[in-house]
Each structure stands twice: as C-alpha cells, then as structure tokens.
C-alpha cells in the first residue's frame, strides 16, 4: 500500500534484540515502546521518514518467537506472527536484527530460513556492538548465509549512517526525492541533532503544531481512536480499512503501541486522506501494574495531544463508566475536536427492539402508570450527552464494528467535523452575534458591575479561538463562557469542536486620584501628585511648614475646584485682608470678624441693622 508511494524497509528478528530501539533511532522519534521484556511489540508500527532527501517508510514488527511447525500459545502470538509475514511480503529491503552479545541462537537461524524463502534483499544488522571486543564477534553471523553484515549500536547511534546508505541502495528509484532546499535543511537539522544529546541519546524531530497541520492541505488529518480496553477500537479500524491491519482479540490490552494506519476516502469525487491512530486502552491509574502498560497509556495520551479529531469509543453493553469520563476529560484538556461512538450496538439491538415494541403498546393503551424507557437512538444520544455534559458539543453515533452498522455515518461525521474545525467566522457577523447575546443576558456580579462588550475577532481555527475586548475580564466566569459558547454554536454550528474565549480587558489610560490616599514624605499622595510617580533623577523638595518646624505642610497638594480654578479665600469675603478695587479697606481687617451686611431682600429693608446701630453709637 505504501510501497507505491515510497520505499518500504522492514525491521524483523527474534524477540528482544533491539528492533524498536533501532526503529526509533532511524526515524528520530520515540514511537515504538522499548522495553527489556520480550514480545512488547505486537502490531506493525510504521513511520514515514527520509534519508538525504529520499523518502521511505520504516516498519517495526514483533519478534518471531515460533519455530517451524510450532503452534502459538495464544491468539495474540499468532496474530503478531501474521503481521510479520505481511511486513516481509510488502518490504523492498529487510533488516535482520541480531544480538552480538548472545551470538547466533536457533531462533536466528529460523528467521533466516524464512527470509531466504521470501527472496528479498536482506541486511544483517548486528546490534549492541558497543565495544571493540564485540566487533571481533561479527564474523560469526556470516553463518546465517547473507552477504551484507553491518555492526550498529541503536542506543548510542553508532553505525546508523553506513546502515542507511546500504539500505537505500535497494529502495526503488521511483520514489520522488524531496526538493533540494528541503533536503539541505533536513541534513542541517540532522547534523545539529547528532551533535546534541537528549535523554537516552535519541533526538526527536520537531513535530508540526496542531495549527500548522491543519493549514497544510497535503498533510493527512490524524484521527485518534481512544477508549477503555476491549471496547472495539482495533475492530473499528479493521472495519474502516477493510483489512486485518491491527491485531484484534478478546483479551483486554492487546494493543500496546500507537499504530498509525493511513486511510483514504473518496466522497463525491473528492479524495480525503486520513491517518487512523489505534491506541492502547486506558485503565485506571491504580490498576496499572507494569511499565509496559504505563508507556502504552503515555502513548495514548500523546496520540490525543497530536490528533486533529479524537473518536471516543464507548461500550453499549456497559454504558458510561467513570473511566470513560476521565478519558473524555483528557480530550477537553487538550482542546481537541471529538466524536462519541457507542460501539457493540449489536449486543443490545434485540433488547432495544423489544423495549420499543413494549413502549408502543403502552402508549396505545394510554397507561398512566407506565415508566417511559429509552427506545430510540435519538433518546439514547440525549442520554449520553447528559452524562457527558462537559462534552455535549460532540455528536453521538451508534455503531457496530462487527457487522458494520452505521460505520458510513462515522466517516461522514469525521468529514463534517473536520470541515467545521476549519470554519472562519467574519468579524462583523461575530460582533453582532456576541453583542446580541450579551445584551440578552448579563453575567452575575457581586459588586453590581455590568459587562461592556467592545470588539471581538477570531484569531485561530484549530481549535476555534475568539478574542473578546471587554471592560472587565473577571465578569466572564465559567458559566457565562458556556452561555456565550452556546450562542455561538446556535449561530455558526461548530459541531464537535471546542470553543475557546479569551477575554481581554480594556486598558485604563488615566490613573485614579484617591482623596484619602496615604501621603509620602512630600506631603502629596503616594507616588506624587495625582498618583503619578515622580520622574527619575528629579528630586522632590518638601516645603517647610509653619514656624520653621521642617515638617511638610498638609495643604501642599494643590487644591483645585470642579472647574479647574484654584480654591482659596474669596475676595472681599471672610478672611480677606487687603484693599478693595476702590482703595478702601474691606471689612474684617485685623483680628475682627467679618460684619454681616444687610440683605436687600430681608424684611428689615430700609432699617439700620444692629451692627450699624452699635457703630453709630460709638
């Protein structure tokens, strides 16, 4: 399938010789699980890679642990052996990995016999050659009957350059090389990566971001199939691809690695490319009792973080359990588009059909004491969204991977949610929608503040992210954000997509002046007059107070009236000591108090006031 696009290199060998470590070293990513326990890898793990500008596909396989005419102990061992056979048949060149520390064992000879029957180019890769003493034992493996024997150390990266140069000679020339500038950039990145060390000396390539992956039209969309163990994830992938691509068994925990399965669909003449990611089932953390399962769960979490759409698979027979909600929470934390699939519907279809017939009979009899039961798919869908209320934006589909029930609807939902994920809302329409929603319902505020909406725009498409300019960002709590998200979904859809609202408060350009603010050494409010800090390098001089005490005056801050006029004693008023414009002394000179003048509108008009009488008497 992939060999037509690029050359295919398969890594085979007996268990626990370092095949997965060599796979990770060549692709420069931690994809396959590396563990000391034999038989960790079961499925075919594939990765697209390039070497000196030439693309190829690398396949990691499970260890061949069966001698000829030996029967497998369980279904998983036989299925893993079948996966190796498929990889051998489709490969252009085969890398036979052996262990120099253990020498040639009977299983190595058995694998060599199978490869000679396949009549494919074979390169014997002697792994774990870490010392000069180990290099002397390389000649022993010439007994396997193959011409090319190369020593490598997958952990330390020794011998990888010579190995890939020898392997690329057998890769078909039909594979189109990368452009010269891209190949040169890749070579520079590889040289820089080789000069650095990272944990176990495995350097990862930089993955494209989620937004870059969606903007690239040539990159296939990643669909992660996640859920609890034994809910039918691998069966769904085999049904969608019409093949036995991944191992399926009734034993929980069959899948360990995150397996990428390329997949193409033709819809109305339009070809869509996808990568279905089969993941390991996620159990409760307290039930994980070995490191292999721990790394499997970590691969599943990484698959959720790197996917474009997550398909959450539930078991129709068991319903929604606590672990299902925890997996759904992982999807919401990573802000990934989601589709909820209730699988194994064939196990409950007969019971639902009988319940539906009973419900119809009860409705006809008009029995008031009857208990209404869920009998239609729409009612079951509402029940699922009610239980997964934090994931209520995801569409719910009922399928059966065993008989193919509604699998076409799953493909249609993937295509539809992918189109919704790329939707871009015009700014003008977005502002009108949010303005109407905020005027319709204001958020609850303990202090009585009112939310003012100024402007909004969409800044990202995956996930759809909207920037809101408001007066107070603290007013947008979780409940009110959910309300605004619901209004946006009513207007624009976004089915299956999480919405992100980022409130941004309006900056305050004028600092407030507090009347009773604490005063600093200058006698002014802290920070200077008006709450503004003094400029650096300019000393603040405090005026001396009365009688030379050296204390700052309390009225040092300028007193300004409502119209900007300075406040002080009014001319010709109480406390005024000076002359009037006519040159005569005003009332209140010296220590005497101001004398009251007769009011023109008083009843004693024309009469002399008491103050005037006393003055005349003197």
pLDDT digits over 172-211, tens only?
875 455 444 444 444 444 444 443 333 444 334 445 555 5
Whether residue 534 lies inside any domain: the answer is no
Tell me the average pLDDT across 76-103.
Answer: 86
Q: Which residue has the tokens 């400029």?
A: 535
Do 84 and 229 fall within a single domain?
no
Query: Residues 401, 433: one domain?
Result: no
C-alpha span between 510 and 507 (Å, rounded)? 9
Q: Give tens-digit pLDDT for 95-125.
A: 999 999 888 998 899 899 989 988 889 999 9
The CATH number linked to 487 is 3.30.300.20
pLDDT for res 521: 52
Same domain, 31 and 163: yes
Q: Are residues 175 and 284 in the same domain?
A: no
Of the three residues 206, 230, 253, the one that is the final residue of a domain is: 206
User: Which of 150, 183, 206 is the last residue before a domain boundary?
Assistant: 206
513 within domain boundaries: no
Residue 397 host element (H or E): strand 396-398
Domain shared by 350 and 244, yes or no: yes
Q: Are residues 435 and 417 in the same domain?
A: no
Same domain, 322 and 415: yes
78 domain-assigned? yes
Give the CATH number for residue 371: 3.40.50.300
**How many domains would you assign to the chain?**
3
> Helix H segments across 195-267?
210-215, 233-241
Residues 592-614 have pLDDT tens digits of 444 555 555 544 445 555 655 56
**Nearest-angstrom CA–CA distance, 128 and 369:** 75
Q: Which two tokens stand for residue 56?
A: 């190829």
Same domain, 233 and 308: yes
Please indicate whether residue 25 or residue 268 has the higher confidence score (pLDDT).
25
Instruction: Report the chain's terminal Cα–Cα distance, integer Å.
Output: 127
**448, 481, 505 - which closes a domain:** 505
Are 498 and 459 part of one and the same domain?
yes
Residue 519 domain flag: no
In a domain, 334, yes or no: yes
Specify if 580 maps to a domain: no
Q: Does 322 reside within a domain?
A: yes
Assess whether pLDDT exceeds 70 at residue 314: yes
- 401 and 462, same domain (yes or no): no
User: What Cα–Cα distance (Å) separates residue 144 from each residue in 65, 98, 278?
Assistant: 17, 11, 36
Same domain, 252 and 162: no
Are β-strands 45-51 and 54-60 bridged in parallel, bridged antiparallel, or unpaired?
antiparallel
Q: Which residues contact 245 (CB under 8 A, 6 or more apart)?
A: 44, 237, 238, 259, 261
- Does residue 310 sit within a domain? yes
- Burial label, 401 (beta-carbon count in 10 A; 0-12, 13-18, 19+): buried
Q: Within this chain, do residues 416 and 439 fall inside the same structural domain, yes or no?
A: no
State the average pLDDT over residues 138-143: 88
Q: How many CB atoms lie within 10 A of CB 423?
A: 13
Q: What is the pTM of this model?
A: 0.68
Q: Would the pLDDT of 4 be above 50?
A: no
Domain that includes residue 200, residue range: 7-206
């Amino acid at each position: 399938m992939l060999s037509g696009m690029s050359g295919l290199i398969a890594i085979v060998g007996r268990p626990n010789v370092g095949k997965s470590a060599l796979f990770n070293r060549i692709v420069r990513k931690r994809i396959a699980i590396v563990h000391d326990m034999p038989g960790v890898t079961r499925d075919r793990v594939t990765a697209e890679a390039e070497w000196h500008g030439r693309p190829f596909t690398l396949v990691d396989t499970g260890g061949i642990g069966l001698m000829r005419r030996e029967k497998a102990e369980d279904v998983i061992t036989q299925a893993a052996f079948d996966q190796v056979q498929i990889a051998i048949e489709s490969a252009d060149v085969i890398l036979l990995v052996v262990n120099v520390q253990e020498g040639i064992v009977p299983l190595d000879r058995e694998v060599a016999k199978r490869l000679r029957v396949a009549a494919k180019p074979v390169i014997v890769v002697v792994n774990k050659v870490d010392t000069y003493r180990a290099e002397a034992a390389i000649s022993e493996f010439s007994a396997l009957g193959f011409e090319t024997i190369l020593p490598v150390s997958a952990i330390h990266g020794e011998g990888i350059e010579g190995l890939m140069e020898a392997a690329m000679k057998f890769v078909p020339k039909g594979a189109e090389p990368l452009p010269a500038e891209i190949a040169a950039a890749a070579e520079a990145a590889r040289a820089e990566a080789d000069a650095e060390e990272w944990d176990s000396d495995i350097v990862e390539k930089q993955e494209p971001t989620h937004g870059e992956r969606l903007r690239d039209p040539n990159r296939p969309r990643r669909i992660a199939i996640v859920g609890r163990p034994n809910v039918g994830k691998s069966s769904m992938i085999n049904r969608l691809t019409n093949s036995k691509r991944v191992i399926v068994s009734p034993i929980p925990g069959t899948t360990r690695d995150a397996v990428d399965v390329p997949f193409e669909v033709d819809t109305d003449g339009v070809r869509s490319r996808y990568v279905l990611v089969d993941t390991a089932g996620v159990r409760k953390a307290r039930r994980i009792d070995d490191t292999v399962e721990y790394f499997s769960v970590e691969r599943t979490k990484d698959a959720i973080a790197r996917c474009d759409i997550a398909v959450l698979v539930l078991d129709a027979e068991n319903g929604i359990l606590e672990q299902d909600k925890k997996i759904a929470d992982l999807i919401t934390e990573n802000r990934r588009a989601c589709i909820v699939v209730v699988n194994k519907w064939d196990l409950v279809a007969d019971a639902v059909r009988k319940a539906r017939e009973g419900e119809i009979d009860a409705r006809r009899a008009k029995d008031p004491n009857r208990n209404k039961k869920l009998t239609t798919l729409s009612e079951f869908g509402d029940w699922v969204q009610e239980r997964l209320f934090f994931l209520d934006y995801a569409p719910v589909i009922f399928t059966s991977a065993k008989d193919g029930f509604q699998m076409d609807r799953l493909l249609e939902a993937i295509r539809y949610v992918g189109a919704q994920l790329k939707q871009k809302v015009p700014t003008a329409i977005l502002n009108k929608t949010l303005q109407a929603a905020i005027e319709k319902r204001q958020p609850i505020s303990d202090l009585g503040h009112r939310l003012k909406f100024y402007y909004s725009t969409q800044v990202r498409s995956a996930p759809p992210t909207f920037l809101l300019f408001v007066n107070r960002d603290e007013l947008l709590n979780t409940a009110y954000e959910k309300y605004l998200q619901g209004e946006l979904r009513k207007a624009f859809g976004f089915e299956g997509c999480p919405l992100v609202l980022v409130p941004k408060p309006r900056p305050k350009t004028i600092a407030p002046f507090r009347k009773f603010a604490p005063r600093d050494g200058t006698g002014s409010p802290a920070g200077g007059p008006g709450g503004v800090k003094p400029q650096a390098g300019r000393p603040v001089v405090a005026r001396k107070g009365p009688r030379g005490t050296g204390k700052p005056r309390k009225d040092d801050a300028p007193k300004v009236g409502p119209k900007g006029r300075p406040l002080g004693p009014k001319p010709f008023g109480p406390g005024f000591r000076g002359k009037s414009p006519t040159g005569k002394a005003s009332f209140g000179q010296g220590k005497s108090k101001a004398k009251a003048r007769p009011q023109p509108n008083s009843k004693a008009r024309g009469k002399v006031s008491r103050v005037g009488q006393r003055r005349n008497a003197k």
